[in-house]
Structure 1
Amino acid sequence: MASPTTPLVDHIVILIPHSFLSAPPSWFADLFHFYPGGKHSDGLTENTLALLADGSYLEFIAFVPGVDPAKRAAHQWGAKKEGTVVDWAVTLPSSPEDQENQTEAQDGETKELKQEKTFREIQKKVQDAHTGIIYGDLRRGGRTRPDGTVLKWAVAFPKHEGDGSPVEPGTVPFWCLDVTPRYLRVPYREEGTTKHPTGIVGVAKVEVLPGDAKAVGSARGVYDVLLDKKDSEGSWELGSLDGEKVHSGGEVRLGSSDGSSRVEISFFTDDESLVGKTVGGKVDDEHTLTFHLVAASK
């Protein structure tokens, strides 16, 4: 059972061309069973989801056609290449009772969630560690599902301790805490929503490869605060809401790249014929989107 103060993987953010939402290429459609997403409240992006049996999910996000270039440039993922993992998020454990009680006050102001208090405690621990990275305060966000259901959440992103500038996305996770019940945003327990052609059931590894040695050192300090150490080589345990039911447990591994910061994802699969294989396809003339599959056996 996860500690109520230990972050769990919430979702992986993957930037795709908008055409992948309206007319996905066959290789992409053959990887996942997609769940409808929606347009975000800022009007700049929309998404589709792939819900996973361990309670996490993949967010395939795209900028809407005709978006103002200046607004895209100001977006935290605006400069990222389509067809890449651009970021990932953690959340905190919550019981079904907590989720059902996440309601809004009649005056329109959101009631404080238990998770927000816990987040502030973790936020202070990260700040006190003086790693060079801190977390900003929670800010509200949301989107509307195709069925009209309005989803609301709070997010907090990492920034540099000195000047408050944004940290390269994906170096350490951002936070996503629900205001409306999480099952509305991530209905992974609905029958059939997590059955994927590739047998993917959860996140096996988030491999973080910052672009310089200083970023590696700062990130290591943050992960030491957030997660339980798995080994001395730069690996930490990564839990998920229902991971104990479907796989042996995920990990975060921190390494160094050849100068360009990136994040690579491996997934657990229950399809034995795909264990050890890499799946994916071509996004454009320069980029391919691929994922490595490992056995989900416990």
Structure 2
Amino acid sequence: MPDLQTPILDHIVILVSHESLLGISKQVDGQFTLAPGGNHADGLTTNKLILLPDGVYLEFIAFFDNIDPEKRRSHRWGNEQENTIIDWAFTLRSEEDFSAVQQRFKKADTEASYTDPIAGGRTKPDGTVLKWAICVPQQPHGKIVPGSLPFWCLDRTPRANRVPCEVEPQLTQHPNGVQGISSVSVHVPEGEASRFKGAYDAIFGGPWNYQVPSGSAAGTRSVSLSGGENSVRLVFRGLKQGKVELLPGLVFEIEGQ
């Protein structure tokens, strides 16, 4: 059985324009069931979600159009390309377990590390206040492109409030039969994969396999790293094999059971 520090895949972040977010229900109609999101505590962004049966979710996030352009540029996602996966997050059963991950980084052969937990949150449309802490990757010299390494989202209020898969199971049922995320592949610029390998070894502390919130053992639940243009790709797990187009040009494989 995985130990308490085995990463749990939490969510995938997809940046869209605010206009696209307002019309996202039409884009995913007939493919996915859309769940409401809310506005983030910083007042810069808002989101909508797709909850998957394995407990992982997809987050469509958008910056409000009327915010200060400089505030957007200074945000870690403010300069990323819209209509793409820009980041992804792990979580743990308890925020206290993150110290073991940080200890592994101190012993690892890598310049990368993670910040200490930074408080965050948002308010749901029904008024429920969600609180969490995030830990983002960093290095002494230069910026780590979002998505090259996952960030961590550690709940300070019950995860079931943030991701109501068990409370509202109907939101996890999708017309295309997608059941969860089978694998994640990360692409970094040619020649940098070896630099990131030590960081991934420290994240996992062993084989690069993650858990999912539901505890399901289906799919490979693996992460791979290779050279290429910066990007994050997914393989979904579903009732039958196929493909799904999340956004125009953003197409992913569905691995049949």
Helix, strand or coil at the partner of 1:118: helix
Partner deviation per Cα, 1:206-244 (whole Å, 9 max, x = no partner): 110012323x123211221222655xxxxx212212242
Deviation of 1:281 after TM superposition, in Å, equals 5.9
Q: Is the 8 A contact 2:7 2:211 kept in 1?
A: yes
The match for 2:238 is 269
Change (3 A) 1:229 1:118: closer
Q: Does 1:174 align with 2:174?
A: no
CA–CA separation in structure 1 for the residues paired with 2:62 and 2:230: 20
Structure 2: runs of 5+ lacking an equivalent:
none
CA–CA separation in structure 2 for the residues paired with 1:168 and 1:88: 12
Deviation of 1:54 after TM superposition, in Å, equals 0.8
Q: Does 1:240 align with 2:212?
A: yes
The match for 2:41 is 41
CA–CA separation in structure 2 for the residues paired with 1:281 and 1:185: 22
1:171-250, aligned counterparts within 5 Å?
Answer: 171-189=148-166, 190-214=168-192, 216-227=193-204, 230=207, 236-244=208-216, 247-250=218-221
Structure 1: runs of 5+ lacking an equivalent:
94-114, 231-235
Q: Does 1:151 align with 2:130?
A: yes
RMSD of the alignment, in Å? 1.8
CA–CA separation in structure 1 for the residues paired with 2:116 and 2:232: 24
Q: Does 1:133 align with 2:102?
A: no
**Worse overlay, 39-48 or 23-32:** 23-32
After TM superposition, what 4+ stretches of structure 1 lie above 4 angstroms from structure 2?
Answer: none
Deviation of 1:266 after TM superposition, in Å, equals 1.3
Deviation of 1:278 after TM superposition, in Å, equals 2.3
Q: TM-score, normalised by structure 1?
A: 0.81
Q: Is the 8 A contact 2:108 2:198 kept in 1?
A: yes
1:255 to 226, 249, 254: 226
Partner deviation per Cα, 1:247-270 (whole Å, 9 max, x = no partner): 23411111111xx31111111111
The match for 2:250 is 289
The number of aligned residues is 256
Helix, strand or coil at the partner of 2:200: helix
Q: TM-score, normalised by structure 2?
A: 0.93
The structure number with the bigger radius of gyration is 1
Change (3 A) 1:122 1:146: same
The match for 1:15 is 15
Deviation of 1:148 after TM superposition, in Å, equals 0.5
CA–CA separation in structure 2 for the residues paired with 1:280 and 1:166: 31
Percent identity reads: 40
Q: Is the 8 A contact 2:10 2:91 kept in 1?
A: yes
